[in-house]
Structure 1
């Protein structure tokens, strides 16, 4: 079982390199017969144009089929927690005639032990 998994993994890793290996093995044939620029020796193409076409074809084969369109929609969720009323009381201290303002902000802590996981879209 492990051997089959290793062989499949190696095939997936080697698949993009197959055109390059084919170019190396059949270098003379590709450079002399399949090269498109053999009439222009100053370019020193030596079949690299054919190699680029094969690599492009291999990368096109790896792309997912575009005929099957997937509809992807994103939705933003906004969670709102209502604010508590903040009340201010003004009173004057009798001995210093200074105004003091007391603020009652009704602070509360909601300690959650669970972690929020957003819903998964399929």
Structure 2
């Protein structure tokens, strides 16, 4: 049973990655082996004057990928249906009284002495 889970996961991941990268893989194959790509995918082999060189298949792959992106999905809009309406609680705050106590003792320890200065101006 565990073996089948691993196989299923591998198939699922491979399909997902192929869906994401198939256009890039096709372009990569075109640039790596252009002659093989032309022999395998080109529709206009009998008409060399068109100089298609496999670009017709690249165009089809790119168009197929872009048409999937253009079709918007019809989304089902969901609406909220209230089962019950809860009344808002009214909050009441009590008044806080603050008694300001005067400072009884205050010592002013600040003193400014202008006599002693570290900066001495130049003597002229």
Shorter-chain TM-score bucket reads 0.3 to 0.5
Alignment TM-score, normalising by the size of structure 2: 0.36
More helix by share: 2
* The structure with more strand, counted as a fraction of residues: 1
- TM-score, length basis structure 1: 0.37
